C-alpha cells in the first residue's frame, strides 16, 4: 500500500517561484520552467491519447515517449547537470523506426491534412501541436551559456512527426478519411479563384 511520506503541497511556490534541481529559485514564468512545464503538458496529452487507442504497439510507443519526456523535463530542470542524465532515453532513432513502420501502412500524402476525422486522430493532432510548442519553448532556453542536452530538440521534433503519422494511421485503420485542405490557385487578376 502506498504511504504518503512526502506531502504533495509544500507552500514553497505560493509566491510564484519554484526551485530548479540544480539549486536556486526562479520565477514560474522563467523560460526554463515554461519549457519543462510544456514538456509535462505534452506527457499528459500523450496519456489522454493512449486512452483513445486500441493498438497495443502504439500504446507502448507512447508510454515510452512519456518516460522520455520525464527524463527530458528532469534534464531541463537541471541546467548545471548535477543529476545523472540518460540521453539514450530520448533517442530520436526509436521514433524514426516507428514512423517508418506506420508510414508503410499508409497511402502517399497528397494534400495538407486538417486535424480531425476520428477522435483518436483529433487527440493525436492536439498532442502534436503541444509537442511543437514544447519544441519552441525548449529552443528558447538553448543558449551557448546553458545549452540544452544534445538530442532533446531532435527528439521533440521527431515525436511531433510521429504524432502526425499516428493521426493519419488512426483514421486509415478506422476507415475514416483525414480531412484535407488544398490551397485554391491564385487568380491571375490578383484575387483567389472560386465563389
Domains of the chain in sequence order? 27-106+113-178 (1.20.1200.10)
The pLDDT of residue 195: 47
Nearest to 148 by CA among 63, 156, 159: 156
CA distance 195 to 187: 12
Could you give the C-alpha distances from 118 to 7, 100, 108, 125, 136, in angstroms and in order?
40, 22, 19, 11, 28
Give the separation between CA 69 and CA 159, rounded to whole angstroms.
10
Judged against a pLDDT cut of 90, whether residue 11 lies above it is answered with: no
pLDDT bracket for residue 187 (50, 70, 90): confident
Q: Which of 27-36, 40-49, 127-136 has the weakest average pLDDT?
A: 27-36
User: Taking every pair of C-alpha atoms in the chain, what is the biggest distance, in angstroms?
Assistant: 73
Q: What mean pLDDT is predicted for residues 125-134? A: 98
Q: Count CA within 13 A, CB hemisphere, residue 92.
A: 13
pLDDT for 123 equals 98
Mean pLDDT over 147-157 rounds to: 94
pLDDT at 188: 77
State how far the Cα of 126 lies from the Cα of 26, in Å rounded to an integer: 29
Q: At 30, list the grid cell.
A: 522563467
The cell for 52 is 483513445
Q: What is the pTM of this model?
A: 0.82
Cα distance between residue 5 and residue 145, in whole Å: 38
In angstroms, rounded to a whole number, what is the distance separating the alpha carbons of residues 48 and 14? Answer: 29
Question: pLDDT tier at 15 (50, 70, 90 boundaries)?
Answer: low
Please tell me the number of Cα atoms within 13 Å of 86 on its side-chain side.
7
Q: Could you report how far apart the first and last alpha carbons of the chain are, in Å? A: 66
Amino acid at each position: 500500500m502506498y504511504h504518503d511520506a512526502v506531502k504533495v503541497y509544500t507552500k514553497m511556490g505560493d509566491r510564484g517561484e519554484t526551485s530548479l534541481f540544480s539549486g536556486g529559485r526562479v520565477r514560474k514564468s522563467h523560460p526554463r520552467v515554461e519549457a519543462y512545464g510544456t514538456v509535462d503538458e505534452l506527457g499528459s496529452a500523450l496519456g489522454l491519447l493512449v486512452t483513445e487507442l486500441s493498438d497495443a504497439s502504439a500504446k507502448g510507443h507512447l508510454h515510452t515517449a512519456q518516460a522520455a519526456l520525464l527524463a527530458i523535463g528532469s534534464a531541463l530542470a537541471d541546467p548545471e547537470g548535477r543529476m545523472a542524465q540518460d540521453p539514450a532515453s530520448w533517442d530520436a532513432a526509436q521514433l524514426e523506426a516507428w514512423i517508418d513502420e506506420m508510414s508503410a501502412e499508409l497511402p502517399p500524402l497528397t494534400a495538407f491534412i486538417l486535424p480531425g476525422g476520428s477522435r483518436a486522430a483529433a487527440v493525436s493532432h492536439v498532442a502534436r501541436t503541444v509537442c511543437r510548442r514544447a519544441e519552441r519553448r525548449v529552443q528558447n532556453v538553448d543558449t551557448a551559456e546553458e545549452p540544452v542536452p544534445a538530442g532533446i530538440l531532435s527528439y521533440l521534433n521527431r515525436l511531433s512527426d510521429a504524432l502526425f503519422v499516428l493521426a493519419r494511421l488512426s483514421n486509415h485503420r478506422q476507415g475514416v478519411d483525414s480531412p484535407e485542405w488544398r490551397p485554391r490557385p491564385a487568380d491571375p487578376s490578383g484575387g483567389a479563384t472560386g465563389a
